[in-house]
Amino acid sequence: MKIGDTELDLSRPVVMSIINITPDSFFSGSRLSTDGEISAAVDKALADGAAILDVGGYSSRPGASDVTSEEEFSRVSRALRIIRREHPEAVVSIDTFRADVARRCLDTYGACIINDISAGSLDADMHRTVADYKVPYVAMHMRANPATMQEHTDYDDVTHDVKTFFAARIAEMKGAGIDDENIILDPGFGFAKTTRQNYQLMRRMDELLEFGYPILAGISRKSMIYKVLGVGPSESLAGTTALNWELLVNGASLLRVHDTKEAVDVVRLYEYYKNA
């Protein structure tokens, strides 16, 4: 996969590290508010083995405050300026569902992956924007929007319905001109799904490989872990690490995480295990 002049090898799984520029993310330990905190978090993620830095300025947790496009771009820009200055070679992903934010980031900071929690359903211009810039695009499954998504968990078969969703979205993406080699699918763990549905989907996630695209999976410290364990996000690293192994077993090519080193270790062990 190409991001500008950089090639990302997905023949083995890679880790995408969350660089969170929001004041109300569900995991308080990931919130970055000063330039020094951002710089230190980026340095650590890359030193720990992150292949991608995923920069987000809009919290998608249920009940999070809405922010304007201008504020979202301002937050993301703060991190991107630091990354481009201190680590110009780093592969960056922009976590946004807004085409205007994506476009401004691409114009200002160069080629990036666009990571869209709505797969284009929240902004009709997103697919055309991605096609115009010819950048990789993560299309995630979600129903409705972050504020109301947990009111839309009525599936007969969650995995079947996610596959139906992607079949339609892939047709739309290709119709808009997005190249096959730029499409990545994300099952959307925690988005419009109950705890049980998340695990049902995880067990059958390998069925998404039928579409022929890389799978990105993010379960890092989410409620599907801490509700089962009866803890909070800050106590959910061990559960995240265990489930990241299952994501790899079931076909994930990219793991989106808060804790880079632990995820990189899981990938290294999984690769050794496969080839032993």
Active site annotation includes 84 = no
With cut-offs at 50, 70 and 90, classify the pLDDT of residue 66.
confident
Alpha carbon 45 to its chain centroid, in Å, reads 15
pLDDT (tens digit per residue) in 236-247: 999 999 999 999
| Dihedral in degrees, nearest 10, Cα atoms 193, 196, 198, 204 | -130
Which pLDDT value is given to residue 4?
94
Write the CB contacts of 156 (distance below 8 Å, at least 6 apart in sequence).
none
Q: Assess whether pLDDT exceeds 80 at residue 25.
A: no
Beta strand ranges found along the chain (DSSP E): 2-3, 6-7, 14-20, 52-56, 92-95, 113-116, 137-140, 183-186, 216-217, 254-257
Q: Please pick, among 103, 163, 169, 256, the residue that the annotation labels catalytic.
A: 256
Active site annotation includes 222 = yes
Q: Which of 104, 107, 68, 90 is nearest to 19 (CA)?
A: 90
Q: Please pick, among 143, 169, 221, 222, the residue that the annotation labels catalytic.
A: 222
Which pLDDT value is given to residue 183?
98
Amino acid at position 105, single letter? C
What six digits make up the tokens of 224?
A: 């599907």
Q: What is the mean pLDDT of residues 248-254?
A: 98
- Of all residues in the chain, the percent with pLDDT exceeding 90 is 87
Task: Fill in the DSSP letter of residue 3.
Answer: E
Which pLDDT value is given to residue 238?
97
Which pLDDT value is given to residue 63?
60
Q: Where are the domains of the chain?
A: 11-275
Alpha carbon 169 to its chain centroid, in Å, reads 17
Least confident range from 16-30, 74-88, 167-181, 240-254: namely 16-30
The arrangement of secondary structure in 11-275, i.e. its CATH architecture, is Alpha-Beta Barrel (3.20)
List C-alpha distances in Å: 88 to 6, 79, 152, 200, 262. Answer: 11, 12, 41, 40, 25
Contact indicator for 240, 220 with CB cutoff of 8 Å: yes
Q: Assess whether pLDDT exceeds 80 at residue 19.
A: yes
pLDDT (tens digit per residue) in 168-190: 999 999 999 999 999 999 999 99
Contact indicator for 216, 261 with CB cutoff of 8 Å: no
Q: What is the mean pLDDT of residues 150-173?
A: 96
What six digits make up the tokens of 145?
A: 């929007």
